[in-house]
């Protein structure tokens, strides 16, 4: 427990100092938020990638993690595009690719949600939920 606390505290302090450093170096608040979002996006992608390869090959959970990873990558690219749009003052047709990327990310989320719904129906979790709700009502 003590070792994990030390790791969590170190990670928290590193993030805190990183946030303060970004705020000090970037005077534009919108750009600061863009950079913070990008840094969290990188961490989310790395952890999801590590999680995917810690799961057994061929399992449904690993497949769903792949969908999640692709969605995160597209959302990250969307954020990068938006940041570049802000920095370079893009207008016109340059703004449309980011909408395409976020739309594809949402479509991947929809597909993954449907597969999870199908998995729940396939394994019959709904009857157990209904039984638990019935027991709660009787109490």
Of 109 and 19, the one with more pLDDT: 109
Residue 136: its pLDDT value, please? 67
Residue 97: its pLDDT value, please? 93
In the predicted structure, residue 34 carries a pLDDT above the cut 60: yes
Of 128 and 106, the one with more pLDDT: 106
pLDDT band at 2 (very low <50, low <70, confident <90, very high): low
In the predicted structure, residue 10 carries a pLDDT above the cut 80: yes
* 38-58 average pLDDT score: 91
The burial of 13, by beta-carbon neighbours within 10 Å (0-12 exposed, 13-18 middle, 19 or more buried), is given as: exposed
- Tally of residues, the chain: 139
The mean pLDDT value of the chain amounts to 85
- Per-residue pLDDT tens digits for 78-100: 999 999 998 999 989 998 999 99
The rounded distance, in Å, linking the Cα atoms of 30 and 90 is 15
Of 126 and 93, the one with more pLDDT: 93
Residue 23: its pLDDT value, please? 79
- Domain ranges for the chain, please list them: 28-138
């Amino acid at each position: 427990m003590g070792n994990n606390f030390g790791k969590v505290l170190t990670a928290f302090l590193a993030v805190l100092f990183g946030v303060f450093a970004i705020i000090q170096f970037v005077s534009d608040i919108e750009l600061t938020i863009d950079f913070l979002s990008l840094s969290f996006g990188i961490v989310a992608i790395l952890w999801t990638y590590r999680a995917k390869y810690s799961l057994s090959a061929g399992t449904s959970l690993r497949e769903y993690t792949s969908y999640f990873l692709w969605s995160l990558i597209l959302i990250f690219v969307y954020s990068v595009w938006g940041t570049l749009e802000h920095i370079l003052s893009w207008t016109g047709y340059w703004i449309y690719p980011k909408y395409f990327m976020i739309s594809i990310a949402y479509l991947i989320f929809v597909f993954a949600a449907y597969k999870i719904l199908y998995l729940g129906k396939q394994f019959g979790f709904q009857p157990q939920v209904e039984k638990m709700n019935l027991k709660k009502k009787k109490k």
